[in-house]
Each structure stands twice: as C-alpha cells, then as structure tokens.
Amino acid sequence: MAQPLREFDLQPHPRILPMLGEINLTQWRCIAELIDNSVDAFLGAKRADNPIQSPEVHVSLPTIDSEAAKITVRDNGPGMEPNTLENAVKAGWTSNDPISSLGMFGMGFNIATARLGTVTKVWTTRAGDPTWCGLEIDFEKLISQRHFRTPSLTRPKADPHEHGTEVSIEKLKPDQRQWFAKTANRAKLSQEFGRVYASMLRSNGFPISFRLMLQGNIIRGRSHCVWGGEGNPSREAHTARYGVISAYQPVDIRLADRSFCQKCWQWLPAGEVGCPACERSEDVVVRQRRVYGWLGIQRYLTANDYGIDFIRHGRKIEIANKELFFWNDGQIVEEEYPIDDPRHRGRIVGEIHLDHCRVTYTKDRFDRNDPVWDEMLGIVRGDGPLRPDKAEQLGHGQNTSPLFLLFQAFRRSSPKPKVAGAYKRLLVVPNNDLAEEMARHFYAGETEYQTDAKWMELVEEADRELLTGAPGEGARPGGLEGWPTPDAGSEVAPVAPAMGTVTGTITTPPAPALVRTPIASLSREYREDQTDLRWEIRAFSVAPTDPELGNSPSPWRLKATPSGVFEFYIDLEHEIFRSATMTPLDGLLAELAWSAKDFQRSGQVQSLFGSILAGLRDRYASASKLDPVELASEARLTLASVGRGIANSPDPEDARALFNELLPAEQEAILGKMATRSVQNPQQAIAEGRFLEYAPAKTLLRFFEQHPELFFDGHYWDAPYARLDYSVPSATEEAQKQTVRHYASLLSDAVWLAEQDPSDLDAVSRPRLLRAALALELLEPSVGEGAAV
C-alpha cells in the first residue's frame, strides 16, 4: 500500500552560511557591502521625507594580526525594528525594492561577513527606542545546534535620541587578519572607497551626500580632473562640421516609464501589466527610468586611467570602463579610441548613472543582457561608429551623442597642424609629464589645482611659443593671472618704474620698467633623489639687461628667496639657445644639478655631477627622448593622415582612375586592408579617394611622387606646386621637382620608421632617429584635417 505524501523540510543546513564565505569577494567589496546597507538606510530616510542630518558611516579595521581583531561598520541611519532586523540577515532575503536599493542586506551581507570571519553581531536602534536591539550569527554554534534560531539581544542606550546600525565581524579568519594588519592594504581600501563612493562623498553628492570615516580619517571622494565643468570656465572647440563642442558634455535623458516585476527582477515588455515569468501582477510596479551624468576631457593623457564610470544609486559599479570606445557590429569588434595617440593614451572620462539596470551579485558589472544597457549605449555613444567616415559607409545618420562629439573635437593628443591656437583648440598640454604631476596635486585636494587654470597657462604658453618661437614670449607684462610675481623679499626685488628725479632744471629720465614674464612650463617642484633635495621653481623670461643676470649677462640665474621658493630668471634670446641641443629646460636642470652637487661638498657621500644631471633629465626631460616605439607609431599615424589628405579632392571618376593606376598587387593589398577594417562598401571608398588610407607605406610614397598636385597648394600642405611660376617653363619645372624631392625624402623617412620593428630601432644611431623624428614634424599638415573635426 502506497504511503501518503508528506511535506519535505527544505530549510538549508546551517553549514550553508559559512560556505557562502568561499565565494571569492575581495576585502574592499566585503566591507562595501556593509557600507551599501548604510547608504540604503540614508536613501530610505530621504525618500520617506525624513532625511538624516549629517549622515555618516564609520569603518574600524584591525591594525595587528590578533585573535581579538574585529571589523566594525557603524552608521547613524534611522535604524531598524526587530522584525526588519530578523529579515535583513537571512540568507537569500532581500527587500521588495531591488531597483531602489543598493545593499539589500540578505545574500550580499552573508557572503561578505562569512568571507571575513565566523561571528557577526548586528546592533540597531531607532530614535526614541529605550535600548539597542541585536543578534549574533555564530557559524560554529549554528552548525552544532543544527538550526538557525538565535536569541534577541539588548544593550543599554546612553542617549534616547541615538539612532543607527552597527555591524561587527569577529573571529576573523587568519588570512584576513594578516591582510588587514598591513598598512599598505588598509591604504588600498581608502583609495577604493574614495573612487567607488566618489559621487556621494562630495558636498553636492548625488543621490545623497554622506561622510565616510576609515580609522577615524575622512575619505575624500576622487573627482575627475577635467577641463571645464563645475568651478571652471566653459572650454570649447570650434569645428567646421559639428560647430562649437564643449569639453564637458552633460547627460540627462528621461526614458519612458516601464513596468517591473519585483519578484522576478525583470522589466516587462511595454504595455504588459502581468509578469510573463511568474504570471502574477501583484508584484508589478511602474518604474521611472533615467540615464544621467556627464562626459568630459581629462587635463592629461594616460595609458590606463581614462574611461567611463558607471554608477548605480551613487555607487560606482564599473570604473574606467573602455567598452564604449569600441565599435561592435555583432561580428567584428574594432577599437576607435585612442587610436590617434602614438602611445595609446586616452583622456575621455565620465560618470554615467544607470540606477535602473541590473548588476551582478558581486556588484562589479552591469548586466549586458538587460535591455536597459543597450538603451544607455544609444544615448551616450549613439548607434553607429564614432568615426564619421565609417558611420557614413554603414549608412548611419547624424550622430549627436556626447561621446561622438567629444571624439570629433578632442580625439587627438597633438594638434595637426601646429599653428598658433592649436593647443587651445585641442586642450592639450604639450608636456604631459608635467600635466600628470599637476593632476596628482589635484587629487590630493590642493586648492590651487582644483580649477583648470594652471593647465590652461601651459596650453596658452605652448600656443605663444608656436607664434613667437620662445616659451613665455608674448605674454602680457606683469605675468599671468594667478601667478606670483618675483619675491619682493628676495635679494634683488622686482624693479618698479621709477619716477624721474629733478636736479635744478635737469630732469633725469625714468628707469625702464622690467618685464618678467612667467614661464609656466618650467615652473613646478623638482626633486633630486641622490641628495633628496627639492626645489619649488618659479621661472621668468627676462631681458638681457635684467639686473638679475649680472653685468656680464648670463643666460640664466637661479636664486633662493626668503619664502623658500627659487626664482629662475632666463634670457630666452641668448645665443646659447640658438643651438639645436640646448633648451631652457636643459639650462634649468644643469643649474639644479650643480646646486645638488654643491650641497654634497660638505658631506661624506659624493655623487658625480653627470649622474645627478642624468637623473634629473630622466625624470623631467622625458618628452625630448627619442622613443623608438613612439616614433614608429607616430610614423604610421602620419602616413595614414597623409593618405586621408586627398579624400574628396578628386571627383569619383578621377578617383577610380587613380586607383586603377596602381599595380595589381597594390590594389589587392588595399582591398585586403579594407576587408580587415570591415569597410562595407570598398567601391564607395575608392570613389571618394579614401583608398590611400589603406595603402601600404611604399605605395603611398610612389603615389605621391606620381601625383604631387593632389597634396600641395592647400590640399594637405600649403607649399606651392601648381602655383609656382618662374616665367621660364624649365625653371618652374625644376622648382616643382625640388619641392617633390624634399617631401619625398621626408616621406621616405616616415616609411622607413613605419616599417621598422621597434626592437630593431634600438640599434639605430641617434642622428638617424633624430632625422626621422624631424621628418615627422615637417610632414605635419599645413591645413586642418577634416577627419580631426
């Protein structure tokens, strides 16, 4: 006879909780789970129109490897009632509002606490409660008693108005105790929290502002060092095709409301009122959907520290994401940025809030299967490629997305052509090492670096140098706004215009005014490792007659002042700077090396002058290094730029005829390159004259020698060719040949560089590399490239 059916007890075994600790979650993510719960409490109070005044979260970590070590996270949130507390720590439990919550207690809480230790205590109280209410989760006890029940705990409350929640993790696992005992690891936590919660650690944070304390120290939110934006004047680029483009692009798009099932955690198709998964409507709610934030241009270039941060309820889920810089048509993935920089450095950054998109349970990635993610892609970067010619090939319409616009205006890391005003249009500091050093001051919170004014001084100086040929020249007398004048307390103070002195009836003429122009590119802190010396330099361009240079004028002088700042006076017109190998920076570094050597004279340790100078040059003159890898990459970019230069110049019939002139092998190579670059319509590219962009380097050189008329007279270079006229045909022809020979020689150097393996260039002589580097500079276009804007 069959036995009657009975109920099965599916309550998980108590061993399930410690097993959750085997899930690989890094230390900072474990603690962030607990901070997230505090943030949710603050957000909940705000939504209930009862916001917490001065919300704070305090994190306390162990500093020694001891069995008594524990971790505590405490907040001044609204607190919880006992029933809520009971649910909050249940494995698998979550609030019924997953879209509006960040921490959600439950599974994340249990994974995080089990990862760190074996005993967790939670205490909570609300304003007006007589005591604190708490519970303890002891994995060993739960396993031995074979059930999940744990007693309710209470403790006295000193102030009845006190409110908040405290989570402490005790009996830390040995490996965790060892990790937290290291000072460097605790410092890493501080850096991670400063990044992850940056948008809420600001005074104007969103969706809330709160203060985060680690070991009693305030964690500063790491802001982005960008042009324009809050606290800065608007920075813009004027483009021929897309008009004025701001370097700071705000994003705020409200999408249509959609229904969401809080039980199944999924969005419903438009118009649906019942969830197709659970076939229920009770848990379906209508949610607002919004994509907001900003994109901008960083004040320095970097190989890694760029990209877009994606944020959910104030917490950054993905940091420096570069996925949007690739074009993905579902079959081929192509990188589009930063392909124009020889060192593959970028500077497009941003913060995009995507509160209504699902994330993984480890909160390290947004769910790419959530249709919300694709909606965001369309808003932030548009539907087509960032490269306008590629978008046109594929039939995409006008793109006005913020990333597309920034790409058009600021994709380059160096202006082409280099004419006065070019650096400001592109917002690029030529000395990127200096721009990065200034950024470190910005991230450290130093007030004078919080605006972009100091970076703009370097940009404007570079543009003046293009105009006048000397750094610092062309600035208005008296210096730049915000710059210090030479120290009034120095040995020889700045000389003011003197009033004329009257002696009888004879009036002596007034002394000429001294003009000392700040040189931003030389003004910074310099360090020398062997002597541990530091100099804070303020550099000024002066006239040869400036008294600081002495009676027998020296090219420069370094002078200490009572304020501790060193003033560097330099005559940029001095004969010494007419050399190809001496620059103002070389002069300053030589002076600093001599100062460091002189400092060592009274000590036992003596360094060679050459060793000191070499160290200073290695740190501060890297921009003048002949880097083979960078040169080879720059050569390939230069040749591609020259190839694009004739695009749209010949009409379609002429363009096809020019392509047909190429050797069959050359045509095959071009078509093969088009295939690898996913050119959808190669015949259209040929008709538009864009085939040279895909041509081998030697093919480009041969084509130039056969058709120089397509490159000169303002097509790519302003140098005259067809405009040359010496009245005598033979003389005109010879002049044209000389022009072609000159540029062909430069192109030959570029071709040689492009075809070299960087490792082979290590054995090449310095003069040969220098010649090739100068060739790349001389090949820069005389007219702006359409592709750049």
DSSP letters along 621-637, please? -GGGS--HHHHHHHHHH
- Beta-ladder partners of 74: 58, 166
**Cα(33)–Cα(771) distance, rounded to whole angstroms?**
58
Where residue 286 falls among pLDDT bands split at 50, 70, 90?
Answer: confident
Judged against a pLDDT cut of 90, whether residue 660 lies above it is answered with yes
Length of the chain: 789
Q: CA 93 → CA 10, 97, 103, 347, distances in Å?
A: 16, 12, 12, 42
SS3 26: coil
User: Angle of helix 183-196 relative to helix 27-47, nearest 10 degrees?
Assistant: 40
259 and 343 inside one domain: yes
Report if residue 229 sits inside a domain: no
Tokens of 754: 């492009």
SS (H, E, C) 300-321: EEECCCCEEEEEECCEEEEEEE
SS3 235: coil
Report if residue 463 sits inside a domain: no
700 and 765 inside one domain: yes
Task: Determine the average pLDDT of the residues in 69-78.
Answer: 96
More confident residue, 757 or 583: 583
**Cα(390)–Cα(327) distance, rounded to whole angstroms?**
10
> Picking from 10-19, 324-333, 387-396, which range would have the lowest pLDDT averaged per residue?
10-19
> Where among 572, 593, 621 does a domain terminate?
621
Judged against a pLDDT cut of 90, whether residue 77 lies above it is answered with yes
177, 48 contact by CB (below 8 A) = no
> Where among 621, 640, 671 does a domain terminate?
621
192 and 324 inside one domain: no
- Beta-ladder partners of 712: none
Report if residue 447 sits inside a domain: no
243 and 344 inside one domain: yes
90 and 24 inside one domain: yes
605 and 632 inside one domain: no
More confident residue, 73 or 493: 73
Residue 110 has what pLDDT? 81
683, 718 contact by CB (below 8 A) = no
Judged against a pLDDT cut of 90, whether residue 475 lies above it is answered with no
More confident residue, 488 or 544: 544
Which of these, 400, 399, 425, lies nearest to 414 by C-alpha position? 425
pLDDT tens-place string over residues 343-369: 899 999 999 999 988 888 788 999 998
Domain range spanning residue 146? 16-218
**Cα(190)–Cα(196) distance, rounded to whole angstroms?**
10
The residue with tokens 């605790």 is 186
Q: 343: how many CB neighbours lie within 10 A of its CB?
A: 15
**Cα(516)–Cα(212) distance, rounded to whole angstroms?**
46
More confident residue, 389 or 754: 754
More confident residue, 726 or 110: 726
> Where among 362, 385, 410 does a domain terminate?
410
Residue 388 has what pLDDT? 85
pLDDT tens-place string over residues 301-326: 999 999 999 999 999 999 999 999 99
- Beta-ladder partners of 239: 243
Where residue 420 falls among pLDDT bands split at 50, 70, 90?
Answer: confident
671 and 753 inside one domain: yes
Q: Please state the domain count of the chain.
A: 4
Report if residue 111 sits inside a domain: yes
Average pLDDT value over all residues in the chain:
86
**Cα(719)–Cα(331) distance, rounded to whole angstroms?**
44
Task: Determine the average pLDDT of the residues in 513-527.
Answer: 90
Where residue 300 falls among pLDDT bands split at 50, 70, 90?
Answer: very high
Residue 208 has what pLDDT? 93
Report if residue 247 sits inside a domain: yes
Residue 500 has what pLDDT? 43
Nearest 5 degrees, angle CA 688-CA 693-CA 696? 130
Report if residue 501 sits inside a domain: no
261 and 189 inside one domain: no
Judged against a pLDDT cut of 80, whether residue 282 lies above it is answered with no
206 and 245 inside one domain: no
**Cα(290)–Cα(297) distance, rounded to whole angstroms?**
23
Task: Determine the average pLDDT of the residues in 481-500.
Answer: 43
685 and 550 inside one domain: no
**Cα(309)–Cα(306) distance, rounded to whole angstroms?**
9
Task: Determine the average pLDDT of the residues in 3-30.
Answer: 68
532 and 645 inside one domain: no
34, 159 contact by CB (below 8 A) = no
Report if residue 433 sits inside a domain: no
